[in-house]
Amino acid sequence: MRNMGIQVKRRRKFTSTTNSSHNLKVYPNLIKNMVVDRIDKLWCADITYIYLQSGFVYLAAIIDAFSRKVVGYLPWRRTLAAEIAIEALRMALKSRDTKDLIHHSDKGSQYCSAAYTGLLKEHNIKISMSAKGCPVDNAFAESFFGSLKVEEVYIWEYENYADVAERIPYFIEEVYNKKRLHSSIEYMPPEEFEKMFEEKVFDNVKNSCKIYVNLR
């Protein structure tokens, strides 16, 4: 590497986006040992940070656990106020079926806020939250954030707020949802997998593509 002039790109220090030190109501974990076998059965929500050369912004996202599709997101906020999570949820609610749906998140103040849980209850969505010290409960969202940062954020090194507003929606909608292949869904991109599932193109999809959420 030295002879070829190749340098290691160091990852930035991890910054937690979860503030669970609050007196808001929390909800039990409903997804332990759960089997997800259809679209809109389980949504996983989380928040991460995206560094800019001049600072950072936060990204809230909601993932469909069955198809791995990002169904809601809000990529350009400078604070961790509950509104960042609420706007991502509103985006998901516009185009998805919420019948018999579970929404899973950590116990952060954004997801425990009365405004957020009230919106979930308004749409009859069951509320599930990770047990303290069990970050793997939300592995679907963490997996997406990992792909986003390695395949997009670390490559482009955003200079400012405008770069995020332009690049993040493009990556989510045109690359991740439409083109990126996932081994867990028959090596298809999320949108193609959902289309084939809904059209019942392959009869054994429900058996071959079950997602086992086997948590502590």
Say if 7 falls within a structural domain: no
Q: Rounded to the nearest 5°, which phi and psi values hold at 99?
A: -70, 130
**Selection from 197, 175, 179, 173 nearest residue 67 by Cα:** 197
Separation of alpha carbons 28 and 107, rounded Å = 10
For tokens 């389980």, the residue is: 42
On whether the pTM is more than 0.75, the answer is yes
Q: How many domains in the chain?
A: 1
User: For residue 150, what are the domain limits?
Assistant: 34-164+174-213
Residue 195 lies in a domain: yes
Structural domain contains residue 169: no
Least confident of 47-56, 85-94, 118-127, 183-192: 47-56
Enter the tokens of residue 128: 């599930």
77: domain CATH number is 3.30.420.10
Return d(Cα 129, Cα 32) in angstroms, integer: 11
pLDDT in tens, 134-188: 656 678 898 999 999 999 998 888 888 888 889 999 999 999 999 999 988 889 9
- Rounded to the nearest 10 degrees, the angle between the axes of helix 82-95 and helix 114-122 is 10
- Asked whether residue 48 is assigned to any structural domain, the reply reads yes
> Distance between CA 117 and CA 50 in Å, rounded?
26
66 assigned to some structural domain: yes
Does some domain include residue 11?
no
* Cβ neighbours of 45 (radius 10 Å): 26
